[in-house]
Amino acid sequence: MPDPDHLDRRGAVGVITLDNPPVNALSLSLRVALQDAFEAGLEDPEIEAFVIHSAGRMFSAGADIREFDSGAAGESPTLGELIAMIEASPKPVVAAVHGAAFGGGFELPLGCHARVSVPGTRVGLPEVTLGIVPGAGGTQRLPRLIGVPAALDAIVSGKPMKAEKGYELGLIDEMASSLDDLVDVAVRLAEKLAAEDGPPPKVRDRDDRLAEARENPGLFDDFRASIARRARGFEAPYACIECIEAAVEKPFDEGLAFERETFTRCRNSLQSKAQRHVFFAEREARRVRGVEKATPKASISQAAVLGCGTMGGGIAMCFANAGIPVRVTETEQGALDRGMDKIRGNYASTVSKGRLSEADAEARLALIEPTLDFDSIADADIVIEAVFEDMALKKEIFTRLDAICRPDAIMATNTSSLDVDEIAAVTSRPEQVVGLHFFSPANVMRLLEIVRGEKTSPEVLASVMAMSGRIGKVGIVVGVCDAFAANRMLYPYAQQAGFLIEEGAFPEQVDRVIYEFGFPMGPFGLGDLAGLDVGWRVRQHREPTRPKDLRYSPIADRLYEMGRYGQKTNRGWFRYEEGSRTPIPDLEVTELIVRTSEELGIERREISDEEILQRCMYPLINMGARVLEEGISERSSDLDLVWLYGYGFPRYRGGPMFYADSVGVDHVYETMKRFHEVHTDWLEPAPLLERLAREGGTFGDWSAS
Ligand SMILES: NC(=O)c1ccc[n+]([C@@H]2O[C@H](COP(=O)([O-])OP(=O)(O)OC[C@H]3O[C@@H](n4cnc5c(N)ncnc54)[C@H](O)[C@@H]3O)[C@@H](O)[C@H]2O)c1
């Protein structure tokens, strides 16, 4: 509970300090304290103006999201009421903003009569990332201060803005040179405003920047068109645009009321619940069984990667991008040169797109040291093996690593399907061994499956969890099983997509349904992107262990045999014009599909979009249930993140397990049962799915214990 009486006096200026550690969340208790301090100052005849600033490392991270569901956010004084009171104050109020001011924590300064900040401060309205719109006047006041185009960019992206930029745009009135001066600068500005005649200037009364927008009536439609592909299916960005439109078209109070209604509608939507679920899932994923806050973590200042192929090169880039020196080895110079050329090419392409300066690219490249000297990796804090997927080779490598690595070095394998415990067992220190399953392209994809071996130590897990954040990954801990969580859940999805086209659908229909559901692309487009030769090789590799009843459609293998490898040959499931990535249905594929159905004795039928969606989604959810009940994953929200960051599952649907809960676990179970009766064993409902359906449970509430 913050001190309700924290109003200090600096001459005639009342200085109010927000103090609600750790991030000054605007919880009810803080709002009451602010109101009390403010009212006391209003009544005090010796106070002529106010400064509001914060204790701690930031101004305020905004609303307390947990209050959304408890209802406390609606208790008086609401943030909107507080801001209205401040804005209406006859005594000017200056916000002194440092560190960060987000969401409601930024709407509060927007309602003040002036804003002062320091370099490096970040301000913004990230509400859209929670599936809502700002709810305390942000969409009405920000465009009045910085103009509609800049406000659209800021609010619809939800991305923070540096205070320096805010100063240029007219959002920040004055910049203090350092944090030490911030309150002084704010006090002086407050004194100056108090000395002016008449009531202090209100943001709500400003119209000049809105008038500019009225002169450009196409502005909003153009903006909608510019986000159409990215925001597809996600309602909150469009709701934000409507609110800013209301700011331009309606008087302030009506605009504010419109924003409030929109906020309430969004907050109660399933999409917002899904976005909030993901927000909490990301925090929850950091809790790992057996790992405590106090568990020691190794500091990682030198990394090594074995193999500079598709994965090794990308992994080396991850370290270099995070400023960590990395050595990368190969068995022969040609492979090393090819790998380094690929890395150089990747950086050059980022530079040519304007996303990285040439100097930064050079600095990153300089952190990657190619070498043929295996022994030179002996001093690395972490070694990640990314050689061919071959158990004998991996065992040989780990035996050599065991002989040369420091006793405390972390030894990781990037295997996608081999048994991490079997690899660890060849070393004298299996507790130092862990799986680090990156996704391709490793320098781009955010997901990192951290595979916990039977003997992996909590210290190693804590260290790689921390490292994953440092190299920009979302680390999700899973246990050892064939293909781990992500790929294991992907197989039934891809398998069903294959069966659907044997039964009567075509790739373009399946891909359209999955795209409309919100994925960036469907399974066939994805296959073409990844390369059908890659999938073919994986199937060959898995063939010896594949249970005989687990049939898969032969069509993908036939395309491979025809030399149709996907985008790289301009022909795969689809056809591609030279230099284009747009998939075009191809008659040759259509004929192959129809012929294969005939050969298999399948009478093709019309397949509904609904069946396509269910046949693709429910089996993967079913596999998720198996992954959970086998203890491979600790919680269903981890599997949601795996799909969000590994395969582009739409965030506004919360991930596959959340989606199952939202359509009803019993419905998923009944549908799976029906599929199982018509088709074969691979669609058998998982015991956990059946149990939850029977008990009326959800994956979200399920826990392993
Ligand atoms: N490609 C993917 O999408 C993907 C995704 C996740 C994990 N993986 C896994 O990552 C590993 C590497 O896969 P990849 O796709 O990068 O293969 P790749 O064939 O592109 O690269 C492997 C590299 O390892 C090198 N190499 C072989 N033996 C070596 C040794 N003794 N010392 C040093 N280098 C050696 C090879 O010369 C080659 O350049 C495999 O275990 C694979 O299962 C691959």
Task: List the residue whose alpha carbon is closest to atom 8 of ligand 1.
Answer: 416
* 460 close to 452: Cβ distance less than 8 angstroms: no
Retrieve residue 464's tokens. 């790689």
Q: Where in the chain is the domain with CATH 3.90.226.10?
A: 7-267
Sign for the CA dihedral angle at 339, 342, 344, 347 comes to negative
Name the residues annotated as catalytic.
Answer: 107, 127
Check whether 544 has a pLDDT greater than 90. no
Tell me the pLDDT tens digit for each residue of 423-458: 999 999 999 999 999 999 999 999 999 999 999 999
pLDDT band at 55 (very low <50, low <70, confident <90, very high): very high
Taking 80 as the threshold, does the pLDDT of residue 541 lie above it?
no
Residue located nearest, by CA, to atom 31 of ligand 1: 331
Query: Ligand 1, closest atom to CA 440?
Result: 3
Taking the centre of ligand 1 as the mean of its atom positions, its distance from the CA of residue 311, in whole angstroms, is: 6
C-alpha–C-alpha distance, residues 178 and 35, integer Å? 28
CB of 271 within 8 A of CB of 237?
no
Lowest mean pLDDT: which of 315-319, 381-385, 485-489, 504-508? 485-489
Q: Are 459 and 298 in contact (CB under 8 A)?
A: yes
More confident residue, 585 or 553: 585
* Residue 572 CA to ligand 1 centre (angstroms): 24
Q: Which amino acid is at 523?
A: P
Give the residue whose CA is nearest to atom 27 of ligand 1.
387
The torsion angles phi and psi of 66, rounded to 5 degrees, stand at -65, -25
Binning the chain into helix, strand and coil, the percentages to the nearest 5 are 55, 10, 35
Ligand 1 atom, smallest distance to 390 CA: 41
Contact 625, 699 (CB under 8 A): yes
Fold observed for domain 486-695: N-(1-d-carboxylethyl)-l-norvaline Dehydrogenase; domain 2 (1.10.1040)
Q: Where in the chain is the domain with CATH 1.10.1040.50?
A: 486-695
> Helices marked H in 268-369 — which ranges?
270-284, 310-321, 333-352, 358-366
> Do residues 405 and 378 lie in contact, with contact meaning Cβ atoms separated by under 8 Å?
yes
Residue 260 pLDDT > 80: yes
Mean pLDDT of 131-150: 97
CA distance 228 to 232: 6
Structure tokens at 433: 């061994």
Q: At the fourth CATH level, which superfamily is domain 303-480? A: NAD(P)-binding Rossmann-like Domain (3.40.50.720)
In which band, very low, low, confident or very high, does the pLDDT at 483 lie, cut at 50, 70 and 90? confident
- Is residue 93 within 8 Å of residue 200, measured between CB atoms? yes
Confidence band for 681, pLDDT divided at 50, 70 and 90: low
Q: How far is the CA of 65 from the centre of ligand 1 (A)?
A: 43
Domain boundaries 7-267, CATH class: alpha beta
Give how far the C-alpha of residue 23 lies from the chain's centroid of Cα atoms, to the nearest Å: 21
Which SS3 state, helix, strand or coil, does residue 214 take? helix
For 477, the 3-state DSSP assignment is strand
Ligand 1 neighbours, Cβ below 6 Å, are 306-312, 329-331, 335, 386-389, 397, 414-416, 437-438, 440
H/E/C letters for each residue in 143-172? HHHHCHHHHHHHHHHCCCEEHHHHHHHCCC
**Ligand 1 centroid to residue 390 C-alpha, Å:** 9
Q: Which atom of ligand 1 is nearest to the CA of 308?
A: 39
Q: Report the nearest atom of ligand 1 relative to the CA of 306.
A: 33
pLDDT at 1: 34
Give 313 Cα–ligand 1 centroid separation in angstroms.
9
Q: pLDDT category, 552, cuts 50, 70, 90?
A: confident
* E strands, 455-535, in order: 474-479
Task: Encode pLDDT of 573-617 as tens digits.
Answer: 999 999 899 999 999 999 999 999 999 999 999 999 999 999 999
| For residue 22, cis peptide bond before it (omega within 30 degrees of 0) | yes
Whether the predicted pLDDT of 677 surpasses 70: yes
Q: Compute the radius of gyration of the chain from its Cα atoms.
A: 29
Verify cis geometry, omega within 30 degrees of 0, for the bond prior to 77: yes
State CA 407 to chain mean position distance: 35
Residue to probe by mutation, ligand 1, list 340, 384, 416, 444, most atoms within 8 Å of CB? 416
